[in-house]
Amino acid sequence: QVQLVESGEGLVQPGGSLRLSCAASGFTFSTYWMYWVRQAPGKGLEWVSAINTGGGSTYYADSVNGRFTISRDSPKNTLYLQMNSLKFEDTAVYYCSKDRGGTGYSMDYWGKGTLVTVSS
């Protein structure tokens, strides 16, 4: 069965850094696009980043572009999100997800999320 388990929860000061991880299992990790999505307190879901199957193409929301880096390690079946220069508004539950495959973009499985709190 597909499983996505996020880790990296933490309390970070503004300007600090944190790396999130997502351990994937139950599917062929290397053949699927992967995503990070977040939900701030009281807010809706916001797409954060995407990475293609090989890891050579990455995409970012304007709100995090230049500060966050998405990557993947196929032998470890792990997705990462390196977050630098964190801001108060980055406080959210962060979810990793996988693409369903085929044409278009659709996230069919999500992890349970990990909480990132940016506060002084």
pLDDT digits (tens, 9 = 90+) for 17-73: 999 999 999 999 999 999 999 999 999 999 999 999 999 999 999 999 999 999 999
* Sole residue written with tokens 């406080």: 91
CB 64 within 8 A of CB 48: yes
Judged against a pLDDT cut of 90, whether residue 1 lies above it is answered with: yes
Neighbours of 38 (CB within 10 A): 24
Could you give the CA distance from residue 64 to residue 50 in angstroms, rounded to a whole number?
A: 12
Beta strands in 1-120 (DSSP E): 3-7, 10-12, 18-25, 34-39, 45-51, 58-60, 68-73, 78-83, 92-99, 107-110, 114-118
